[in-house]
């Protein structure tokens, strides 16, 4: 499954990090469909982190959002593209994601029916990590990653196979005394394995095929997987502002190999005041809802994938909002007077 996809033509609408906000997703979806009907846009590109609301359970539309997106993909095919985000990744490996005292993964695991899971997990497994375009604009979930410094690490990243990594874990588990492994993990965690599985996965039957997913998550470790984790979870400019410009330059150069020169990166993942910010002169940090401060400042981006963009002003010309009255946007729209980089 290719993790790097090229878009050579068409007008692209980029939306980031909706985190289970179904009503907001529906507004962006409907704006896309409206613009598509008018011939103003061809491709909806979602930058990952579709799931995991930090709000109350009744307000979390993560499963509904994922299922509706699958429906839309069936209808429009290559007209809908989604990147893998750091909040989708743990569900492929039986890992528990948390920040502080907030647990993200259990609610999603418990909400999915088995039939829904059979649809959603293959979808997550298929998602690419990066998009690059003839316009010289690349899209990533988090931003530039350290694997770009190493040709071998980069090759492993863009050719990464979840199935291959999970097969290695199954090989480690084969022939092992599962009861002892479960007991050992429980001792390390300070609670029984049965209680953890019930809490994190919503499972109580030891014979369920996913009962040992927490063991699988604990055993998933390799240089290839670590590169994926870093690529999706790192905080980029927030981790080391001094070295990030060099990382970004190296990353864009790697994306340019055997393709059009990539001059710009668009990403989500990190909170920004307003709906966007310019990072290291060449990266547009976009926030469409959850990571916008305030949320209603969220924006989306339109651009023509075939038309080279030569300046930051040219890139920000495609910034638009569903939350404030604006003129009908196009891929070459004049920026909103309050937009700032």
> Tens digit of pLDDT per residue, the chain (341 long)?
789 999 999 999 999 999 999 999 999 999 999 999 999 999 999 999 999 998 899 899 999 999 999 999 999 999 999 999 999 999 999 999 988 888 999 999 999 999 999 999 999 999 999 999 999 999 999 999 999 999 999 999 999 999 999 999 999 999 889 999 999 999 999 999 999 999 999 999 999 999 999 999 999 999 999 999 999 999 999 988 899 999 999 999 999 999 999 999 999 999 999 999 999 999 999 999 999 999 999 999 999 999 999 999 999 999 999 997 643 344 333 333 222 22
For residue 158, being part of any structural domain is answered with: yes
Quote the pLDDT of residue 170.
93
Region of 335 on the Ramachandran plot (φ > 0 left; ψ -120 to 50 alpha; else beta): beta
Quote the pLDDT of residue 102.
87
Quote the pLDDT of residue 297.
96
Quote the pLDDT of residue 139.
98
For residue 208, being part of any structural domain is answered with: no
CA distance 279 to 297: 18
**Angle in degrees, CA 6, 301, 61, rounded to 5:** 95
Q: Which residues contact 98 (CB under 8 A, 6 or more apart)?
A: 104, 105
For residue 249, being part of any structural domain is answered with: yes
For residue 20, being part of any structural domain is answered with: yes
- Which structural domain range is residue 142 located in? 4-162+220-320
Q: Which residues contact 21 (CB under 8 A, 6 or more apart)?
A: 53, 61, 65, 289, 290
Q: How many CB atoms lie within 10 A of CB 271?
A: 14
| Phi and psi at residue 277, to the nearest 5° | -155, 150
* Number of domains the chain is built from: 1
For residue 174, being part of any structural domain is answered with: no
How distant, in Å, are the alpha carbons of 135, 282, 284 from that of 306?
A: 5, 19, 19
Quote the pLDDT of residue 331.
39
CA distance 242 to 31: 39
Quote the pLDDT of residue 325.
60
For residue 303, being part of any structural domain is answered with: yes
For residue 181, being part of any structural domain is answered with: no
| Phi and psi at residue 320, to the nearest 5° | -145, 170
Write the CATH number for 262.
Answer: 3.60.21.10
For residue 180, being part of any structural domain is answered with: no
Find out whether the peptide bond into 294 is cis, omega within 30 degrees of 0: yes
């Amino acid at each position: 499954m290719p993790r790097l996809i090229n878009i050579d033509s068409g007008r692209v609408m980029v939306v980031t990090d909706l985190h289970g906000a179904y009503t907001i997703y529906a507004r962006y979806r409907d704006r896309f469909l409206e613009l598509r009907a008018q011939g103003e846009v061809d491709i909806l590109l979602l930058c990952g982190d579709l799931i995991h609301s930090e709000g109350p359970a009744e307000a979390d539309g993560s499963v509904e959002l994922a299922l509706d997106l699958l429906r839309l993909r069936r209808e429009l095919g290559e007209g809908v593209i989604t990147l893998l985000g750091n909040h989708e990744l743990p569900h492929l490996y039986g890992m528990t994601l948390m920040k502080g005292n907030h647990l993200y993964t259990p609610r999603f695991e418990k909400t999915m029916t088995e039939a829904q899971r059979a649809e959603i997990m293959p979808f997550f497994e298929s998602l690419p990590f990066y998009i690059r375009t003839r316009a010289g604009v690349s899209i990533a979930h988090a931003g530039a990653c350290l694997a770009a410094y190493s040709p071998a690490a980069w090759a492993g990243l863009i050719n990464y196979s979840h199935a291959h990594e999970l097969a290695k874990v199954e090989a480690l588990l084969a022939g092992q005394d599962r009861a002892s492994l479960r007991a050992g993990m429980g001792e390390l965690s300070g609670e029984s394995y049965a209680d953890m599985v019930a809490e994190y996965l919503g499972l109580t039957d030891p014979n369920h095929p996913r009962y040992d997913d927490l063991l699988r998550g604990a055993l998933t470790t390799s240089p290839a997987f670590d590169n994926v984790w870093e690529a999706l979870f790192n905080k980029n400019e927030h981790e080391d502002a001094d070295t990030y410009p060099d990382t970004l330059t190296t990353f864009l150069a790697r994306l340019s190999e055997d393709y059009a020169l990539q001059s710009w990166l668009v990403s989500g993942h990190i909170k920004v005041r307003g709906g966007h910010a310019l990072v290291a002169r060449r990266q547009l940090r976009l926030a469409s809802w959850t990571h916008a401060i305030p949320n209603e400042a969220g924006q989306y981006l339109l651009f023509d994938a075939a038309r080279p963009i030569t300046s930051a002003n040219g890139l920000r010309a495609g910034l638009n909002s569903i939350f404030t009255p604006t003129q009908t946007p196009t891929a070459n729209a004049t920026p909103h007077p309050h937009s700032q980089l």
